[in-house]
Structure 1
Amino acid sequence: MTTTVAGRLPSDASASPGGTASLERGIGVIVPYDFALDRELWRWCPDVATLHLTRTPHVPLPVGLPQARAVRAPGAVVQATHDLSTPRPEVVAYACTSGSFVAGVDGEAALREALTEAGAPAAVTTSGAAVSALQTLGTSRVAVVTPYDETVTNSLSRFLTEAGLDVVASGHLGLAGEIWTVPERVTADLVRRTVAPDAEAVFVSCTNLRTYDLLAPLEAELGIPVLSANQVTLWAAMAALGLDARGEGQSLLVRGRPGPGTPRAATPVETP
């Protein structure tokens, strides 16, 4: 005869054999439907944190301003936030650069507000995190590198300018899709060709562009901070929890350590 006994774990026990799950800090991540770099996001994640990803609904659009508006539409953002509610993340990161800069600084703030109104305990966006990261490092003159076309790249430059930064150079690849397939050497070469002598930092846009292994070598080569969309997103999400993202040799993660809280676009951050 088989006997079934129902019960529950003690209040101080974890669901995992090692007893670590109860110590994990949950981060919800909303990415566009075409996002393909889940593994790269995890590389910035310390052991104490865990990522819960969800995607916005598919829309049959190439990468461009219409697509950026579609993946930030209120219905898509609210539904994605609700989709993340079961694991109860402590912060939700909207991980799309174009979707968070296409409506300007006010639109980025409205996007964060939509996330919190939908139930996120705290919220960050990629574009807002980029501004906060550059401010935290004490930089104001930035070179911008993107995989987008000229129109989308110019929209990013306008957003950064509106946030109080000076875009001194920009370069783009002119792509309309499959950005995750861009070889790292192509991105690195574009950074080298774009950076201007008076640039204090470089920002590499698009969360679908592979960058983790490029940042430290490019910083050593160029002598200035080189930031990327996925890096600043995870940095901001971790900062909201009082944690440090990890990335050896990446200056933002060594020098840019704000206290607990949610970095916001166009809000000055004290430089350590």
Structure 2
Amino acid sequence: MPAELSVGRADESDAPGVGVVAPFDFALDRELWRWAPEDVSLYLTRLPFFTTPVTVEMAVAVADRRAVRRATRDVLTPRPGVVTFACTSGSFVSGVAGEAVLTRTMCEAGAPVATTTSGALVEALHLLGVRRLAIATPYIQPVTDRLVTFLADSGVETVASEGLGLLGNIWRVGYEQVVDIVRAVDRPEADALFISCTNLPTYDIVEPLEQALGKPVITANQVTMWASLRALGRYAVGGGALLGVPLPLPVA
């Protein structure tokens, strides 16, 4: 092996990675990797398995502090530069205060920087100047209602919401069904649309939807990776207006 090639690979392995704490049923590892630059690794770990369907109770259980603390510690071995809690419902179900507790829990467990899907969503909406949002979810209504409340408490009005009413197997939903629900929920007064749940595939449809609807489309996996990579001073790879938001200036 040429010496210069060997050195190049060693340099890549030294690049900060992203630690991902995901629910036990998360099935879209490949989609997360697609948002990452080639030299950034993802280190995924799963939260404990349980049999509860996708309800408010499941979302609360997924965000259990003890489990999140343990998973964060598990994923720190390869020394990621940031750890993210990659679950939308688990990070909004207990409101703004609950999201802050999750972030604090990961930091107390040793994460150098901690982000969550719902916290990233709020940051993205504020940076894009979005005040009125339409949301498409795979959830039953009580879970979707928790998202609406979380957004309201974060200064964002939900002008329309639509859920698929699923209690499981969310990752089996295809692009066509996601596109249909987004088109159904769009309203002229919505500044942007959000597709909730990290178990919904969205990578290839963000840009086409934005072109068709004429407004930003934000998705759970997109915003999760955007915020994680942003914490590393990097841009996510893919489509969508969100990915064009400039990185913060370095502290002098």
Shorter-chain TM-score range? over 0.9
Equivalent pairs, count: 247
- Give unpaired runs (5+ residues) of structure 2: none
Alignment-derived partner of residue 181 in structure 1: 172
What amino acid is the match of 1:251? Answer: A
Alignment-derived partner of residue 33 in structure 1: 24
After superposition, the CA RMSD in angstroms is: 1.6
Alignment-derived partner of residue 108 in structure 1: 99
TM-fit CA distance, 1:139: 1.1
Aligned partners of 1:149 and 1:172 also within 8 Å: yes
**Secondary structure of 2:212's partner?**
helix
1:230 aligned residue (206, 217, 221): 221
User: Is residue 149 of structure 2 the alignment partner of residue 130 of structure 1?
Assistant: no
User: Is residue 138 of structure 2 the alignment partner of residue 147 of structure 1?
Assistant: yes
Alignment-derived partner of residue 10 in structure 1: none
Alignment-derived partner of residue 40 in structure 2: 49
User: Is residue 48 of structure 2 the alignment partner of residue 60 of structure 1?
Assistant: no
User: Is residue 45 of structure 2 the alignment partner of residue 73 of structure 1?
Assistant: no
Structure showing greater Rg: 1
Q: Among the aligned pairs, what percent are the same residue?
A: 51
What amino acid is the match of 2:191? Answer: E
Q: Aligned equivalents of 1:232 and 1:260: distance in 2? A: 20
What amino acid is the match of 1:35? Answer: F
Q: Aligned equivalents of 2:10 and 2:137: distance in 1? A: 42
Q: Aligned equivalents of 1:73 and 1:19: distance in 2? A: 37
What amino acid is the match of 1:69? Answer: V
**Secondary structure of 1:39's partner?**
helix
- Give unpaired runs (5+ residues) of structure 1: 1-12, 262-272
Alignment-derived partner of residue 94 in structure 1: 85
1:210 aligned residue (174, 177, 201): 201
TM-fit CA distance, 1:20: 3.3
TM-score (norm 2): 0.94
Q: Aligned equivalents of 2:191 and 2:145: distance in 1? A: 19
**Secondary structure of 2:158's partner?**
strand
What amino acid is the match of 1:253? Answer: L
Alignment-derived partner of residue 155 in structure 2: 164
TM-fit CA distance, 1:71: 0.8
Larger helix share, 1 or 2: 2
Q: Could you list the per-position Cα deviations for residues 80-124 of structure 1 after superposition, in whole angstroms to 9, with x for gaps in the alignment?
A: 001112101110000000000001001101110000000100000
TM-score (norm 1): 0.88
Aligned partners of 1:95 and 1:233 also within 8 Å: yes
Aligned partners of 1:136 and 1:258 also within 8 Å: no
Aligned partners of 1:15 and 1:21 also within 8 Å: no
